[in-house]
Every structure is written in C-alpha cells, then in structure tokens.
Amino acid sequence: MSQKHENENIKGIMDIKKRSQWADIWHHFKKNKAAIVGMMLIVLFVCLALFAPLIGDYQDDALKMNIRERLQSPSADHWFGTDEFGRDIFIRIVYGTRISLFVGIISVSIALSIGGFLGSIAGYYGGKIDNAIMRVLDVILAIPAILLAITIVAALGASIINLMIAIGIANIPGFARVVRAAILSVKDQEYIEAAKAIGAKDHTIILKHVLPNSMAPIIVFSTLKVATAIMATASLSFIGLGVQPPTPEWGSMLAGGRAYIRDYMYIVLYPGLAIVLSVLSLNLIGDGLRDALDPKLK
Amino acid sequence: MILNNNILNIEDLVIRYVTEDGIVEAVNGVNIKIEKGKTLGLVGETGAGKTTTALSILKLIPDPPGEVVKGNILLDNIDIMKANESKMEKIRGEVVSMIFQDPMTALNPVITVGDQIAEAIFIHQKVTKKEANNKAKEMLEMVGIPGNRLNEYPHQFSGGMKQRVVIAIALSCSPKLLIADEPTTALDVTIQAQVLELMRELKKKFQMSMLMITHDLGVVVEVCDDVAIMYAGRIIEQGTLEDIFRSTKHPYTEGLFNSIPNIEDRKAKLKPIRGLMSDPYDLPKGCAFCDRCDYQMEICKTKKPEKVYFSDTHFVECHLYNENKDFKLNNGRK
Amino acid sequence: MLIPVMLGVTFLVYFIISLTPGDAAAMILGNGATEESIKELREEMGFNDPTIVQYANYMKDLLTGDMGTSYSTGKSVAGEIGQRFPNTFKLTFSAIFIAILISIPIGVISATKQYSIFDNAGMIFALIGISMPSFWTGLMLIIAFSLNLGWFPSSGMDGIRSLILPAFTLAIASTASITRTTRSSMLEVVRQDYINTAKAKGVSKKDVIRKHALRNALIPAVTVIGLEFGILLGGAVLTETVFSWPGIGRLMVESIQRKDTPMVLGCVIVFAVAFSVVNLIVDILYAYIDPRIKANYN
C-alpha cells in the first residue's frame, strides 16, 4: 500500500468519525433508560404547553373564579381538584407549563448569549481581556444566584419580563465560565492553528471552528440550567416576586394554596409535582447527555 | 515443599473483558515461566495484553469488566487462583511487587513519600511506625534520594525521582518477584538509563526475579535474560535473549527489529510493520498477525498456529515452520 | 482578594437596589407628607446626589457598622440584622452539617459498590432530591410531620424541635448534590494509578478507600460544599418564609414587600459577605487536604 493511499485512508476514517459524533452521542444516550424517560416527560410537558387550549380555555377555566366549586378533591370533572377560588388545578398546571418552559428557555438564552459572548472573548483572547472579564464575573458569582435574582426583581418590580432578565443575569457568570473553559480546551488544537495559519479572521475562527467543537459541554450545561431556571421561576413567584396571581404559575399556585394545606393538600401537592417532574426530567436529560459525551465516566 | 525452581509459572491463562460493546479476549492462553533470579522481558505493542497478564499475577484485574476465564498461576508455589483476598493482601508487596508505567500518577498526591514507603513496610513486617519510617528512609537513600526528603509530597519531585520513589515502595519488603510495567517509558532518555541501571543493581542486591514489561527492545537487551513476545493476547515467540536476537523466528518479532533505526546503515529504510493490531473485539479465526504478515499463507487465515520448538528454551507460534524448521526469514536488513 | 470582591459586590448590589423606582423620601414620610417636607428630606438624606456619591457615603457608614435605618420601622438596619443573623446561621449550618453527614458516606459506599441496588437507589433519590424545590419540600414535610403526625411544630423558632424540619428541608438539595459529587469523584479516584500502587503493596480494600481514595475524592467534594453553601443561603430565603423562621432570609422578603430599601440592601450584603467568608474557609480547607495547593501559598 502506498503512503499516499494510506494517508487518504486515514483521512477518510477521520471524516467518518467527525460526521458520526452526534450519531455516536445518540447511540450512547438512547441506552440510558433514565435519560429516555426524562426525554419523554419533557416531550409531554412541551405538548401540554402547546396544546393547552385544547384541554381548557385560559379565561374560562384557568382564570375565572368559581367560588361554589372551591377546594374540591380530585374527581372525574377536576382531575387534580380545584383551588381556593374554585379553579381547576389541572388546567392551571397545564397553563403554568407554558410560563415555566418559556421563562426557563428565554432566561437561559439571555444568559447563554451574554455569558457565551463574554466567555468566548475571554477564552479566545486570554491575557488582560480574560482577566478583566473574569474578575468582574467573580464579583457577580460572589452573590448566590437566587439572591441576585431576588435583588434584581425587587429593584425592577415583579413581572414576567423582569423575572427572565433577573434569572438570565444571575446565570451569566456560569455560562461565561463554561463557554470559556470549552473554548480553552479546543483553542490550542491543531486545526485552530491551521485555520489561523491560512489567515482566517478571529470571528470566523470562533464561530466556525471553535464553538462547534466546544458545543457539547455548553449544551449539557444549558439543559441543566433550564431546570434551575424553572426552579428559580417557581421560587421567586412563591415569595411573590415573580409571576403575579391570578396568572397560573406553579410557584405562585403553591403560595396561594399554602393557607389551605391543613385540610386540603392537593392544592400544593400537584403544582409541586409538576415542578419536580419538569426539573427532574431536564436533569435526567442533562446527565444522560453528559454521560453520552464522556463515556469514560460510566 | 519445593515443587520447581520457578518463581512464576503461568499456564494457559485466559482473561477477557466484558463490555457493552462486546467481549475482548485480552489474554488468550498465555504460558509464562520465570526461573528464580532471572528476568523475563514481556514485549509487545500497546493492547497486546501485557499489563493484563501482569495484573492477574497480583489478582488485581478490575472485575467487572475483567474476568479470568481459566488458567493457573503459581507464584512462588502459591496457587494465586485459589488465594482469597486476605491472603492476596499478604502476598502483594511481600512476595510480588509492581511498578506502574507512569510515575507521575503512580504516587498518591496527598500523602508524603515517606508515609507511602513506610505503609508497605508497616503492613508486612512486625515493626512499629517509627521503625517503618526509619526503614523508609533507608529505602529512599538506597534509590538515591536524600533521606531528609522523606516528608515531602510527590509533587515536589521530578519524574525520574518519582519513579525512584515508586521503586523504593515496590522493593521496601524485598519481594521475590518484581513486575515492572514499562517503568521507563514515561521518562526522559537520560533518566531512563539511570533508572534501568538502578533496577539492575537492586535486582542483584535483593536477588529478585523480574518480569519486565516493555515495548522497547533496547530495554530488553539491557536487563533481560529471557524474552517473550506477546501479540493479541498470546505469546507468539519465546526464548533466551540470544535466541530472540540472533535467530529471530516470528515475522512479528522480525518486524519489531526492523522498526528500529540502524546507525550502521542509515540509508537502509525502516520497515515498519504495516497496519494496526486487529480489532480486539473481533480477532481473526486463524493467526492474529496474519493480516499484517509479509509471509502470509492460505493456512494462516483459517488455522491457529501451534508451538514449534527449536530448543528447550525457544519456541514460536507460526505456520512457516510447520514443515521446514530451517525456514529463514528474509525480510530483514541483513 | 476578598476585599476587592466585597467592594465590587456591595457596589453591584447598591447599584441594582438604586434602580428601584419610586421616591424614597415620600416612602419614609408616608401618606400625609407635604411636597415641601419630602423635598427637604430628599436633600437631607442625599437622595439627590449621584449614585456613586451615595454609595461612597453608604460604604463610609458601613465600615463603622452603620447600615442605615429602616424606612418602615425606623430602627437601625444593622441592629435588626444582627438580631436575626444567629438564627440564619443556626439554620444553614445545621443544614450543611446534616448534608455532609449523610452525603459523604452514601457517596463513598455508592462508588465502591457501583451499579449495586444501593448505588442505583441512592442515585435516583439524589436526582429527585436536587429536583425538589425547597419551599415545596418544606410544605410536604409540614403536612406529613407537623399537621398529620404532630411531631414537630410547623412554624416559628422554639427549641431544637422547631429546627429539625427547616434544617432537613434546606439540607435535602445539598445532600443530593454533595452525594453525587462524592460518588463521581470517588469513582474517578479509584481508577487512578496510585490506587493500584496502594493495592499492589498489599493495602487492604478498606484502607485503600479510607487512606488513599477518600482524601483525594474530598477535594472536589469540598468545592461543591462551598458552592452549595451559596445555594443554601438562597434556599434559606425560601425555607425561612415557609417555616416563618425569624432569620435574615425572611427579613429580606418582608422588607422587599414593604419596599424597605436599606433593609433589603443590608440583607443582601450580609448574605454575600457570609458566602465569601465561607469560600475563604473552603480555600483554607483545601490547603489542608491538598498539599499541592499549600505549596502554592508558600
């Protein structure tokens, strides 16, 4: 076999390897039963959020009070019972899914885009820029994330938008760190050197070569952070700093139902379970992805 | 009870790793004998099963996924297969010791080197902590490190020094057999020579036997009396140093020699062995080396070769010698 | 390092809080105030100065232990916080103590018996544990142990019995995540070469774990314990609210609802300082566990 032929062969093998990276991850991921359960649960939550109007009307069923039917136990009419204003808990949970997923995804997107931008610059350029960015982020990290979010909402006022901004900002340092670490781990690889050597521009290198190759840990982190964001949304709403009643949100449903737990626990049981299940399923997916990306940890 | 004069006697050892991607036959019917006081070089490329063989002597094959399927291991006439864990704990360090490949990771980073040496002494000998410490100091000096560095941590030592500490740990209870798993691979060339020299010296001093695992034929010439060439979980050629170097029989052994540059004839092309080792999940039906062999025959693809003996000490597993024991390999440089 | 971070933190928090809309002077004087007196007070309190000047004044006072006066009660902020601080300290330290006590042994056993029933069950519980919001867990514990079984009080602070439910509530999430970290770092450590070296010299299985593996595995665990503490402080805000525990967390929520800015500011700063001090302790602990780090300090 000639040397040239052999080289081509090796190149062919490398190409196949690269192309099948995601296939490979999926191959490992689907063997993880827990992760698949998480995936199915999340699909279920997304369907509930998308098709909520088919289950019940927002105005009539989720918001309108019906004092005559208050605090009813679960029945065929009201699967999870009714709350202190006679509203169907199941339908309110279904509409709550919309808010939780929406706030979770948007706030993570905010954190990912700002934190990711700062992290890539810090990681790619290093030196003084890196130092300056990371020191500033250290300051933000010195405040526990949920407290920072509470402070921001307390200052800006309680609303869904402010909630997303607050949770997003509180998560910026985490994303910056993960993206920076991911960039650092691929920055000195030879293909990056090669791209530099042929004169590619910095932003081309970052967007085309560095980021795609450091995607994996970022995706895992984002998945886990959506879970945290859902938890934070519920937490802030629970202490009255997030989504305001009567809007159906899981945390504020718990806050509203607190007074009735002595005689009627369903009012806090089901919204809480919704939080646990959605957070759990995202954690399962995140863990599954991480194991699939890093098979040595198994 | 003296059964024989061998410190180590491995018979028909089969070890496999069961993973979710399939079964790997890591060691596939290996026989190894080491006479008391002798050094056997176990030579082969990465993945040939050398380390697995070595770990099985200490009964340290990680299980799962490792699994010793069958075979006998007699270590100083102790039946390792039948020894329970508490017996093995007495054997390890006392009868047999092992030096691992990478000195950078072989020492516990949070324990002083003195404590790491003294620990072995304290476990195996009836001594006080203080006596163990003194002995540790002696050991440290014996491997050429000032005794006052006893209370330092591994990160304060260079790679070569770390390997000396590892050697001190391994020899602290004067084991009868020392297994050295590529002890110089991770070191600089100049340090390699020093460490090899030290090992040779100490081996003489302690009258140890040694199993030297390596892929470096230079190391083999330096320290070994006998050589076993391992390929895909089998010993494919074994003999004295003389047998292997002067009358090489297996095409793979020949290939190993041809991969070394020759200073006398720099124009001579290196002749590396082509291809890669067969997929360990799917070994060929016949000779495992068949696909890479320049002397490949029809029979090689279908039938496993059997041992062909040239003398009491020298055998090869290769079909080339089935009919004609005088067959000469001709792919060499000479 | 601590001082510049603290300066940054106080400035950041001060800046965020200063974004609060509304007229502080009008707030303090209440409904009956005249336009004239509001103007006067504004001048007197320095509300017309630029934020940075106000911050400098605040810091000057802070160094003398003065955190201002509460808008709503007129009492000293530092006094109020000083009164509440021991309660939050008691709660969070009990929680971290419980978490460490449970999580490290479980993590170690899980790792040594990887994939056993114990390990699998432990990991499922841990995953559920990190997915449960503390305020919901708290409500569930109240329903079970206080309302139904009557073993512990459901609110207030009255002796050790009243500490148990809030401390466990707060401990659950931390227990879960420290268990997971201990397990995975233990699994990583037992694969290291030095563990083989230890085994090869005849160290017994028990001692390999106790003397050789555990100390190395604790290094990442200690990091997580430090980080968990931040999450715990955030969790304290919610747990104290659920259990009406008279700590700084509850004070902060009440102050936010009353728009008592100096009080909120004081609470957040105390939380951030506490978190930074804990991280400093963690750094010092590191040096004890890991000689490589000690070397860096010298």
Q: How many CB atoms neighbour CB A54 within 10 A?
A: 10
> Between chain A and chain C, how many beta carbons pairs sit less than 8 Å apart?
131
Which of C199, C202, C215 is opposite residue B110, by nearest beta carbon?
Answer: C215
Which token pair is B265?
Answer: 């004839």
- The identity of residue B64, as a single letter, is P
- Find which of A147, A237, A253 to mutate to test the C interface (most C CBs within 10 Å of its CB): A147
Which of B93, B110, B119 is opposite residue C290, by nearest beta carbon?
Answer: B110
The arithmetic mean of pLDDT across residues A216-237, rounded, is 91
Helix (H) / strand (E) containing A291: helix A266-293
The arithmetic mean of pLDDT across residues C263-275, rounded, is 90
pLDDT digits (tens, 9 = 90+) for C205-231: 889 998 899 989 988 888 888 888 888
Q: List the one residue out of C137, C97, C85 whose CA is nearest residue C243.
A: C137
The arithmetic mean of pLDDT across residues A62-67, rounded, is 77
DSSP label at B43?
E
CA-derived radius of gyration, chain C? 24
**Could you give the CA distance from residue B36 to residue B225 in angstroms, rounded to a whole number?**
11
Decide: B101 and B55 in contact? Cβ < 8 Å: no
What pLDDT does C85 receive?
93
What pLDDT does A16 receive?
46
pLDDT digits (tens, 9 = 90+) for C137-152: 999 999 889 888 888 8
Is C194–B94 a contact, with Cβ atoms under 8 angstroms apart? no
Question: Which chain C residues are within 8 Å of B110, Cβ to Cβ?
Answer: 215-216, 289-291
The mean pLDDT of chain A is 83
A147 touches chain C (CB under 8 A): yes
Q: How many CB atoms neighbour CB C150 within 10 A?
A: 9
The arithmetic mean of pLDDT across residues C148-168, rounded, is 85
CA distance C97 to chain B (A): 25
CA distance B218 to chain C (A): 25
What pLDDT does C282 receive?
87
A63 touches chain C (CB under 8 A): no
Q: CA torsion, points C76, C81, C84, C85, in degrees to nearest 10? A: -150
Is B111–C197 a contact, with Cβ atoms under 8 angstroms apart? no
Domain positions in chain C are 2-63, 78-297
Question: Which chain C residues are within 8 Å of A136, Cβ to Cβ?
Answer: 8
pLDDT greater at residue C251 or residue B102: C251
Which of A142, A231, A240 is opposite residue C9, by nearest beta carbon?
Answer: A142
CB environment B145-157: b (16+ within 10 A), e (fewer): beeebbebbbeeb
Which of C200, C289, C290 is opposite residue B60, by nearest beta carbon?
Answer: C200
Rounded to 5 degrees, φ, ψ at B330 are -130, 20
**Could you give the CA distance from residue B205 to residue A60 in angstroms, rounded to a whole number?**
93
**Could you give the CA distance from residue A123 to residue A38 in angstroms, rounded to a whole number?**
33
**Could you give the CA distance from residue B146 to residue B143 in angstroms, rounded to a whole number?**
9
Is C202–B60 a contact, with Cβ atoms under 8 angstroms apart? no
Task: Please tell me whether residue A75 adopts helix, strand or coil conformation.
Answer: coil
**Could you give the CA distance from residue C57 to residue C68 in angstroms, rounded to a whole number?**
11
What pLDDT does A65 receive?
78
Q: List the one residue out of C87, C111, C107 whose CA is nearest residue C99.
A: C107
pLDDT greater at residue C166 or residue C36: C166
**Could you give the CA distance from residue A94 to residue A270 in angstroms, rounded to a whole number?**
11
pLDDT digits (tens, 9 = 90+) for B12-66: 899 988 887 788 888 888 888 898 888 999 998 887 888 889 999 988 888 778 8
**Could you give the CA distance from residue B104 to residue C158 in angstroms, rounded to a whole number?**
56
pLDDT digits (tens, 9 = 90+) for C16-64: 888 877 666 666 777 677 777 777 777 777 777 777 888 888 888 888 8
Decide: B287 and B300 in contact? Cβ < 8 Å: yes
Is C135–A238 a contact, with Cβ atoms under 8 angstroms apart? yes
Is B155–C192 a contact, with Cβ atoms under 8 angstroms apart? no
Is C237–A157 a contact, with Cβ atoms under 8 angstroms apart? no
> Between chain B and chain C, how many beta carbons pairs sit less than 8 Å apart?
84
What pLDDT does B332 receive?
54
Per DSSP, what are the bridge partners of residue B42? B213, B228
Which token pair is C57?
Answer: 């004044």
- The identity of residue C166, as a single letter, is P
Q: How confident is the model at residue B3 (pLDDT cuts 50, 70, 90)?
A: low
- The identity of residue B324, as a single letter, is N
CB environment A7-43: b (16+ within 10 A), e (fewer): eeeeeeeeeeeeeeeeeebeebbeebebbeebbebbe
What pLDDT does A126 receive?
85
CB environment B59-85: b (16+ within 10 A), e (fewer): bbbeeeebebeebebbbbebebeebee
- Find which of C193, C201, C208 to mutate to test the B interface (most B CBs within 10 Å of its CB): C201
Task: Please tell me whether residue B92 adopts helix, strand or coil conformation.
Answer: strand
CA distance C288 to chain B (A): 10
CA distance B100 to chain C (A): 7
Which CATH number is associated with domain C78-297? 1.10.3720.10
Which of C200, C292, C295 is opposite residue B98, by nearest beta carbon?
Answer: C200
Which of B107, B110, B156 is opposite residue C197, by nearest beta carbon?
Answer: B107
CA distance C143 to chain A (A): 7
The arithmetic mean of pLDDT across residues A1-22, rounded, is 49
Decide: B11 and B30 in contact? Cβ < 8 Å: no
Decide: C205 and C159 in contact? Cβ < 8 Å: no
What pLDDT does C295 receive?
62
CA distance B12 to chain C (A): 23
Q: How confident is the model at residue C296 (pLDDT cuts 50, 70, 90)?
A: low
- The identity of residue B174, as a single letter, is S
Which token pair is A104?
Answer: 């979770």
ipTM of the complex as predicted: 0.87
Q: How far is CA B302 from CA B9, B283, B316, C136, C273, in A?
A: 30, 12, 18, 68, 74
What pLDDT does B1 receive?
42
What DSSP assignment string belongs to B101-116? S-HHHHS-TTS-HHHH
Is C200–B106 a contact, with Cβ atoms under 8 angstroms apart? no
Domain positions in chain A are 32-297
C133 touches chain A (CB under 8 A): yes
Which token pair is C90?
Answer: 């008691």
CB environment A119-157: b (16+ within 10 A), e (fewer): bbbbbbeeeeebeebbeebbbbbbbbbbbbbbbbbbbbe
C211 touches chain B (CB under 8 A): yes
Neighbours of chain B (3+ CB pairs under 8 A): C
Range in A1-10, A14-23, C57-66 with the lowest mean pLDDT: A1-10
Q: Is the pLDDT of residue A9 over 50?
A: no
**Could you give the CA distance from residue B61 to residue B69 in angstroms, rounded to a whole number?**
12
Q: How confident is the model at residue A166 (pLDDT cuts 50, 70, 90)?
A: very high
Q: How far is CA A130 from CA A120, A215, B136, in A?
A: 9, 20, 47
CA distance A257 to chain C (A): 10
Is B119–C201 a contact, with Cβ atoms under 8 angstroms apart? yes
Q: How confident is the model at residue A297 (pLDDT cuts 50, 70, 90)?
A: very low
Q: How many residues does the structure list for chain B? A: 334
Question: Which chain C residues are within 8 Å of B101, Cβ to Cβ?
Answer: 193
**Could you give the CA distance from residue C98 to residue C106 in angstroms, rounded to a whole number?**
13
Question: Which chain C residues are within 8 Å of A275, Cβ to Cβ?
Answer: 132-133, 136
Q: List the one residue out of B244, B232, B324 whose CA is nearest residue B280.
A: B232
Of B19-28, B311-320, C155-164, highest mean pLDDT: B311-320
Is C200–B156 a contact, with Cβ atoms under 8 angstroms apart? no
CA-derived radius of gyration, chain B? 21
Cis previous bond, B64, omega within 30: yes
Range in A16-30, A152-166, C41-55, C168-182 with the lowest mean pLDDT: A16-30
% of chain B beyond a pLDDT of 90: 15
Q: How confident is the model at residue C10 (pLDDT cuts 50, 70, 90)?
A: confident
**Could you give the CA distance from residue B239 to residue B250 in angstroms, rounded to a whole number?**
11
**Could you give the CA distance from residue B113 to residue C208 in angstroms, rounded to a whole number?**
16
Q: List the one residue out of B275, B270, B290 whose CA is nearest residue A9.
A: B275
Is C200–B94 a contact, with Cβ atoms under 8 angstroms apart? no
> What residue spans of A51-88 are helical by DSSP H?
52-55
Q: CA torsion, points C277, C283, C288, C292, in degrees to nearest 10? A: -170
Question: Which chain B residues are within 8 Å of C194, Cβ to Cβ?
Answer: 105-109
pLDDT digits (tens, 9 = 90+) for C79-136: 999 999 999 999 999 999 999 999 999 999 999 888 889 998 998 899 999 999 999 9
The position carrying tokens 């309302």 is C147
Q: CA torsion, points B290, B295, B299, B300, in degrees to nearest 10? A: -20
Q: How confident is the model at residue A33 (pLDDT cuts 50, 70, 90)?
A: confident
**Could you give the CA distance from residue B241 to residue B234 in angstroms, rounded to a whole number?**
19
Helix (H) / strand (E) containing B211: strand B209-214
Question: Which chain B residues are within 8 Å of C201, Cβ to Cβ?
Answer: 92-93, 97, 119-120, 123, 169-170, 172-173
Per DSSP, what are the bridge partners of residue B235? B230
Decide: B39 and B201 in contact? Cβ < 8 Å: no
**Could you give the CA distance from residue B125 to residue B132 in angstroms, rounded to a whole number?**
8
Question: Which chain B residues are within 8 Å of C287, Cβ to Cβ?
Answer: none
**Could you give the CA distance from residue A108 to residue A110 in angstroms, rounded to a whole number?**
5
Q: How confident is the model at residue A45 (pLDDT cuts 50, 70, 90)?
A: very high
Question: Which chain C residues are within 8 Å of B94, Cβ to Cβ?
Answer: 202
- Find which of C113, C187, C194, C204 to mutate to test the B interface (most B CBs within 10 Å of its CB): C194
Question: Which chain B residues are within 8 Å of C199, Cβ to Cβ?
Answer: 58, 60, 92
Q: Is the pLDDT of residue C183 over 50?
A: yes
What pLDDT does A63 receive?
77
DSSP label at B270?
P
Task: Please tell me whether residue B207 adopts helix, strand or coil conformation.
Answer: coil
Q: Is the pLDDT of residue A165 over 90?
A: yes
% of chain A beyond a pLDDT of 90: 34
Question: Which chain A residues are within 8 Å of C257, Cβ to Cβ?
Answer: 240
pLDDT digits (tens, 9 = 90+) for B152-186: 999 999 888 898 899 889 888 888 999 998 888 87
pLDDT digits (tens, 9 = 90+) for A186-201: 777 777 778 878 878 8
**Could you give the CA distance from residue C104 to residue C114 in angstroms, rounded to a whole number?**
15
pLDDT digits (tens, 9 = 90+) for B57-102: 988 888 778 888 888 888 888 888 888 888 888 889 889 999 888 8
**Could you give the CA distance from residue A205 to residue A124 in angstroms, rounded to a whole number?**
10
What pLDDT does C23 receive?
67
The mean pLDDT of chain B is 85
> pTM for this one?
0.82
C194 touches chain B (CB under 8 A): yes
Is B93–C201 a contact, with Cβ atoms under 8 angstroms apart? yes
What pLDDT does C239 receive?
93
**Could you give the CA distance from residue A231 to residue A237 in angstroms, rounded to a whole number?**
10
Decide: B225 and B244 in contact? Cβ < 8 Å: no
pLDDT digits (tens, 9 = 90+) for A98-143: 999 999 999 999 999 999 999 989 988 888 999 999 999 988 888 8
What pLDDT does C1 receive?
65
- Find which of B58, B108, B156 to mutate to test the C interface (most C CBs within 10 Å of its CB): B108
The position carrying tokens 């997303």 is A164
Which CATH number is associated with domain A32-297? 1.10.3720.10
What pLDDT does C65 receive?
83
% of chain C beyond a pLDDT of 90: 33
Which of C5, C235, C238 is opposite residue A138, by nearest beta carbon?
Answer: C5
Question: Which chain C residues are within 8 Å of B166, Cβ to Cβ?
Answer: 197
Identify the sign of the CA torsion B124, B129, B133, B134: negative
